[in-house]
Amino acid sequence: MSYSRRQFISFLGKASLGAAIVPPFLLGCGNSSKPITNGNLSEEHLERLKKLILEAVPASDKDDLVLANGLDYHTIIKWGDSISDNDTFGFNNDFTCFIPLDENNPKDGLLWVNHEYVNPIYVSDFNQYDFEEPRKHHTKAHVDKEMYNVGGSIVRIKEENGVWKVVKNDPHNRRITAKTEIKFNWDLPVKGSSTAIGTLANCSGGITPWNTFLTCEENYDDCYGENVYDENNVATRVPSKYNWWEDHYDYPPEHYGWVVEVNPKDGTAQKHIALGRFAHECCTIYRLKDERVVAYTGDDSNNEHLYKFVSSKPNSLKEGTLYVADTVNGKWLAIDWENQPVLQARFKDQTEVLIRARAAAKILGATELNRPEDIEIDPITGNIFVSLTNNKTKGDFHGSILKIEEFNGDFDALTFKASTYKAGGEENGFSCPDNLAFDQSGNLWFTSDMSGYAMNRADKPYFPFKNNSLFVIPRYGNDAGKVVRVASAPRDAELTGPWFSPDGKTLFLSVQHPGEQTKDKNNPTSLWPFDGDNIPKPAVVAITGDLIQKMNLLNKLEA
Segment 30 to 89, residues that bind ligand FEO, using CB under 6 A:
none
Which helix (H) or strand (E) covers residue 5, if one does? helix 5-13
Span near Ca ion by CB under 5 A; candidates 77-85, 247-255, 290-298, 436-444: 436-444
- Which is it for the CA torsion 23, 436, 219, 76, positive or negative? negative
Q: Which is nearer to Ca ion, 295 or 437 (CB)?
A: 437
Which one of ligand FEO, Ca ion, none is in contact with 479 (Cβ closer than 5 to 8 A by kind)? none
Q: At its nearest, how many Å lie between ligand FEO and the CB of residue 434?
A: 6
For 4, other C-beta atoms within 10 Å of its C-beta total: 17
Q: Identify which of 300, 297, 299, 270 has the alpha carbon closest to the alpha carbon of residue 286.
A: 297
Q: At its nearest, how many Å lie between ligand FEO and the CB of residue 301?
A: 9
3-state secondary structure 427-462: CCCECCEEEEEECCCCCEEEEECCCHHHCCCCCCCC
Which one of Ca ion, ligand FEO, none is in contact with 374 (Cβ closer than 5 to 8 A by kind)? Ca ion
3-state helix, strand, coil in the chain (%, to 5): 15, 35, 50
Cα Rg for the chain, rounded, in angstroms? Answer: 22
DSSP secondary-structure letter at 376? Answer: E
- Note whether 412 binds ligand FEO by CB under 6 A: no
- Note whether 159 binds Ca ion by CB under 5 A: no
- Note whether 222 binds ligand FEO by CB under 6 A: no
Which residue in the set 146, 218, 222, 479 belongs to the binding site for ligand FEO (CB under 6 A)?
218
Largest CA distance in the chain: 73
Peptide bond preceding 474 in cis form (omega within 30 of 0):
no
Segment 336 to 355, residues that bind ligand FEO, using CB under 6 A:
none
Residue 466: which region, alpha, beta or left (left: phi > 0; alpha: psi -120 to 50)?
A: left
> Phi, psi at residue 48, to the nearest 5°?
-60, -45
Which residue in the set 81, 222, 299, 300 belongs to the binding site for ligand FEO (CB under 6 A)?
300
Q: What does the per-residue mask of binding to ligand FEO show for 116-135, with x meaning CB under 6 A?
A: x-------------------
Q: Which is nearer to ligand FEO, 300 or 412 (CB)?
A: 300
Segment 194 to 223, residues that bind Ca ion, using CB under 5 A:
203
Q: Which is nearer to Ca ion, 32 or 311 (CB)?
A: 32
Q: Identify which of 527, 420, 402, 546 has the alpha carbon closest to the alpha carbon of residue 486.
A: 546
Q: At its nearest, how many Å lie between ligand FEO and the CB of residue 63?
A: 22
Q: Which is nearer to Ca ion, 221 or 326 (CB)?
A: 221
Q: Which is nearer to ligand FEO, 172 or 371 (CB)?
A: 371
Q: Identify which of 481, 378, 508 has the alpha carbon closest to the alpha carbon of residue 77.
A: 508
Which residue in the set 63, 449, 492, 516 belongs to the binding site for Ca ion (CB under 5 A)?
449
Q: At its nearest, how many Å lie between ligand FEO and the CB of residue 319?
A: 28
Which residue in the set 81, 281, 412, 439 belongs to the binding site for ligand FEO (CB under 6 A)?
281
Q: At its nearest, how many Å lie between ligand FEO and the CB of residue 28?
A: 26
Q: Which is nearer to ligand FEO, 218 or 405 (CB)?
A: 218
Q: At its nearest, how many Å lie between ligand FEO and the CB of residue 183?
A: 25
Q: Which is nearer to Ca ion, 155 or 203 (CB)?
A: 203
Name residue 216's amino acid. Answer: C
- Note whether 116 binds Ca ion by CB under 5 A: no
Residues 6+ apart with CB under 8 A from 213: 97, 99, 112, 152, 154, 205, 206, 207, 261, 262, 264
CA dist., res. 513 & res. 99, Å (int): 25
Which residue in the set 63, 378, 434, 492 belongs to the binding site for Ca ion (CB under 5 A)?
434
Q: At its nearest, how many Å lie between ligand FEO and the CB of residue 275?
A: 16
DSSP string, 318-354: SSEEEEEEETTTTEEEE--GGG-HHHHTT-SSHHHHH
Determine whether 533 is exposed, middle or buried from the number of CB atoms within 10 Å of its CB (0-12, 13-18, 19+). Answer: exposed
CA dist., res. 251 & res. 245, Å (int): 6
- Note whether 32 binds Ca ion by CB under 5 A: yes
Report the number of secondary-structure helices (H) and strands (E) in the chain. Answer: 10, 33
Q: Identify which of 117, 189, 110 has the alpha carbon closest to the alpha carbon of residue 146.
A: 117
Q: At its nearest, how many Å lie between ligand FEO and the CB of residue 113?
A: 14
Which one of Ca ion, ligand FEO, none is in contact with 218 (Cβ closer than 5 to 8 A by kind)? ligand FEO
Q: Which is nearer to ligand FEO, 218 or 254 (CB)?
A: 218
Which residue in the set 81, 326, 374, 405 belongs to the binding site for Ca ion (CB under 5 A)?
374
Q: What angle do CA 79, 80, 81 make, to 5 degrees?
A: 95
- Note whether 221 binds ligand FEO by CB under 6 A: no
Site residues, ligand FEO (CB under 6 A): 116, 203, 218, 281, 300, 373, 434
Site residues, Ca ion (CB under 5 A): 32, 203, 374, 434, 436-437, 449
